[in-house]
């Protein structure tokens, strides 16, 4: 039996992060006195170094290693860079918040690094087994992070709820994978695609498996009808953790959807597109309507996240029209652009909640934003940028994200779908603009000056400026998404 030692070079970033996770664990155990600072510093160093490694090993080629279980392509590299970026910013925003509540333990950072590794594995997986293991690594770390504030009953309850529902979703996904394996005889995405193309796969069993795969993906994206966990978990987890859940894992879930559905099951796109259509329409409608009724800003952002993910799915389902694959690249890159812009906006929105919170006080109610303009005109402006961008008001990045997805949907000929999306966006604009209104026209209830460390203020300002600046030049990010997909497909 011949065995060739796999090429480790394409997986250099994954190997580095895995080794660093162990280094962080040991270093923080032995250097107890400075463990909290050390854990944080090493985590940020790991993320930055991993970004450099990813950039240096990026060659624009599609290469496989580890017996074809690992794929290295431009889409994966791009998403990995976005994941490091959003994790690094999320940890930076959350640091003072965690320190105020005495939960900035080194384990928090260790779990964040392992979670990053899980997401990297998902993004670069070419095999259902590694996809599942990456997903579990990410989810297990997330469950623990949600429950990390263990003296808070709400946080523990949210962690438990997320864990039970997440385990159920993983079970569904795994069942779907086993059915796809039963139908095609392989777990490798390219092998699955080959088997479906040759029609050697058993189509009924394949479809049966597909239903479960879509259910698992939808749970991780948090879209209707698998959205039940989203508001409770977002509200129950401490804001720093909510910030993490609402950003990088969405990119990983997007990658999972792309690898499973487009890399593996592109041949039966018309089947999963129909499923995603129901899911997307239901998410956009329910997310936007339910968000109006919320008085807690974390819950409101959770429902808004549901509708945003529904919007993102619109891009994924507009790829193939009656067997015509002409629009596929455009549609998928619009979905990717949407996911990336949502992550940038989401970082800033939860960052604002953290900014207004301080030791012993959670700025969770929408009313806590009242009169923010009088307390800090600049951060009121940043929040206004974020809200305008999320509502899709022109010349912010969120507008171009919505526009490119709608263009893809219209190009695919689903006019009614575009109409529903536009109408619901207009309804959704109400609750975003309400926040702008209370910031500028209401009297502040709470006049304490904002207490936040300088790095949070600087980064949050940069984030707000980025939302506006990328809105003025969206072409750059958009063409980056399109190029990454073009080089990978």
Partner 1 sequence: MEFKTFVFYFLAAILVFAALRVITARNPVHAALYLVLAFFNAGGIWLLLHAEFLAITLVMVYVGAVMVLFLFVVMMLDINLDRLRQGFWSYLPLGAMIGILLVIEMALVLGGQYFGLEAMPAPPAPGEGYSNTREIGRVLYTDYVYPFELASLVLLVAMVAAVSLTLRKRKGTKYIDPALQVAVKREGRVELVKMQAEKE
Per CB under 8 A, residues contacting partner 1 are 1, 3, 6, 11, 18, 21, 25, 66-67, 69-70, 105, 107-108, 110-111, 114, 117-118, 121, 127, 129-130, 133-134, 136-137, 140-141, 143-144, 147-148, 150, 182, 202, 204-205, 208
Shortest Cβ distance from residue 148 to partner 1 (Å)? 7
Give 63's strand partners: 72
- The two most distant CA atoms of the chain are separated, in Å, by 76
Rounded CA separation 357/89 (Å): 17
Phi-psi region of 224 (alpha: psi -120 to 50; beta: other; left: phi over 0): beta
Smallest distance from the beta carbon of 432 to partner 1, in angstroms?
A: 35
- Smallest gap from Cβ 484 to partner 1, in A, equals 23
Whether residue 239 contacts residue 350, with contact meaning beta carbons closer than 8 Å, is answered with yes
Helix axes 153-184, 189-197, angle to 10 degrees: 40
Judge residue 3's burial from the number of C-beta atoms within 10 Å of its C-beta, 0-12 exposed, 13-18 middle, 19 or more buried.
Answer: exposed
Rounded CA-CA distance 298/304 in Å is 10
Q: Is 148 or 379 the residue whose CB approaches partner 1 more closely?
A: 148
Name which of 121 and 260 has its Cβ closer to partner 1.
121
CB of 16 vs partner 1, minimal distance in Å: 13
Closest separation between CB of residue 143 and partner 1, Å? 7
Phi-psi label, residue 31: left if phi above 0, alpha if psi -120 to 50, beta otherwise = beta
Question: How long a stretch of residues is the chain?
Answer: 489
Q: How many Å apart are CA 182 and CA 197, to the nearest integer? A: 16
Q: How far is CA 362 from CA 213, 285, 312, 422, in A?
A: 38, 29, 30, 34
Closest separation in Å from C-beta 135 to partner 1: 10
Query: How deeply is 232 buried, as exposed, middle or buried, from its count of CB atoms within 10 A (0-12, 13-18, 19+)?
Result: middle
Nearer to partner 1, 5 or 454 (CB): 5
In this complex, which beta carbon is closest to partner 1, that of residue 22 or of residue 292? 22
| Nearer CB in complex with partner 1: 275/344 | 275
Counting Cβ atoms within 10 Å, is residue 30 exposed (0-12), middle (13-18) or buried (19+)? exposed
Specify the residue, 114 or 438, whose C-beta has the smaller distance to partner 1: 114
CB of 104 to partner 1, least distance (A): 12
CB of 281 to partner 1, least distance (A): 22
| 369 DSSP 8-state letter | G
Phi-psi region of 395 (alpha: psi -120 to 50; beta: other; left: phi over 0): left
Chain centroid to CA 196: 29
State which residue, 62 or 469, has the beta carbon closest to partner 1: 62
If the CB atoms of residues 108 and 399 are measured against partner 1, the closer one turns out to be 108
Shortest distance, CB of residue 67 to partner 1, whole angstroms? 4
Alpha-helical regions (H) of 71-127: 74-100, 106-123
Across 201-355, where does the E strand assignment appear?
A: none
Nearest distance in Å: CB 181, partner 1: 12
Give, in order, the Cα–Cα distances in Å from 4 to each of 1, 7, 67, 188, 474. 10, 9, 9, 19, 45
Q: How far is the CB of 404 from partner 1 (least distance, A)?
A: 35
Sequence-distant (6+) residues with CB within 8 A of 89 are 347, 351, 459, 463
Beta partners for 64? 71
Which one, 105 or 374, has the nearer CB to partner 1? 105
Q: Considering beta carbons, is residue 143 or 263 the nearer one to partner 1?
A: 143
Rank residues 18 and 427 by Cβ distance to partner 1 and give the closer one: 18
Instruction: Return the number of the residue (1 or 454) whose C-beta is nearest partner 1.
Output: 1
The set of residues, in sequence order, having a beta carbon less than 8 Å from that of 50 and lying 6+ positions away, is 13, 16, 17, 20, 80, 84, 116
State the minimum distance, in angstroms, from the CB of residue 478 to partner 1.
Answer: 33
* H helices, E strands: number in the chain: 20, 2
């Amino acid at each position: 039996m011949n065995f060739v030692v796999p090429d480790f070079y394409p997986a250099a970033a994954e190997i580095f992060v895995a080794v660093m996770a162990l280094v962080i664990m040991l270093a923080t155990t032995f250097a107890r006195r400075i463990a909290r600072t050390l854990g944080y510093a090493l985590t940020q160093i790991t993320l930055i170094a991993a970004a450099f490694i990813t950039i240096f090993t990026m060659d624009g080629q599609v290469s496989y290693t580890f017996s074809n279980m690992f794929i290295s392509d431009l889409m994966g590299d791009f998403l990995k860079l976005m994941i490091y970026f959003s994790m690094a910013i999320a940890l930076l925003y959350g640091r003072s918040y965690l320190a105020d509540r005495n939960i900035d333990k080194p384990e928090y950072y260790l779990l964040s690094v392992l979670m990053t590794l899980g997401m990297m594995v998902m993004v670069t997986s070419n095999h259902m087994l590694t996809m599942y293991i990456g997903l579990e690594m990410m989810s297990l770390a997330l469950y623990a992070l949600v429950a990390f504030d263990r003296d808070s009953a709400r946080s523990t309850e949210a962690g438990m709820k997320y864990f039970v529902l997440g385990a159920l979703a993983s079970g569904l996904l795994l069942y779907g994978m086993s059915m796809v394996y039963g139908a095609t005889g392989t777990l490798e995405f390219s092998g699955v695609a080959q088997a479906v193309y040759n029609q050697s796969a058993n189509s009924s069993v394949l479809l049966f498996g597909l239903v479960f795969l879509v259910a698992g993906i939808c749970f991780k994206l948090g879209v209707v009808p698998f959205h039940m966990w989203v508001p409770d978990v977002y509200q129950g987890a401490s804001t720093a953790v909510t910030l993490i859940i609402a950003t990088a894992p969405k990119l990983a879930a997007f990658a999972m959807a792309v690898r499973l559905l487009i890399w593996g099951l592109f041949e039966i796109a018309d089947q999963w597109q129909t499923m995603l259509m129901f899911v997307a329409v239901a998410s956009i409608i329910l997310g936007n309507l339910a968000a109006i009724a919320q008085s807690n800003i974390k819950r409101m952002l959770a429902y808004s996240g549901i509708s945003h993910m529904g919007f993102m799915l619109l891009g994924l389902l507009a790829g193939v029209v009656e067997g015509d694959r002409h629009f596929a690249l455009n549609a998928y890159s619009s979905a990717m652009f949407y996911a990336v812009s949502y992550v940038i906006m989401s970082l800033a929105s939860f960052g604002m909640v953290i900014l207004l919170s301080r030791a012993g006080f959670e700025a969770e109610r929408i009313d806590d934003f009242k009169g923010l303009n009088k307390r800090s005109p600049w951060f009121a402006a940043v929040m206004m940028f974020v809200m305008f961008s999320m509502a899709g008001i022109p010349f912010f990045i969120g507008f171009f994200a919505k526009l490119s997805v709608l263009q893809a949907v219209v190009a695919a000929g689903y006019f009614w779908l575009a109409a529903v999306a536009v109408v619901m966006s207009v309804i959704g604009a109400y609750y975003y603009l309400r926040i702008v209104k209370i910031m500028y026209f209401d009297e502040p209830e709470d006049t304490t000056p904002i207490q936040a460390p300088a790095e949070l203020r600087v980064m949050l300002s940069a984030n707000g400026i980025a939302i506006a600046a990328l809105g003025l030049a969206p072409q750059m990010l958009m063409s980056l998404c399109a190029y990454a997909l073009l080089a990978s497909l």
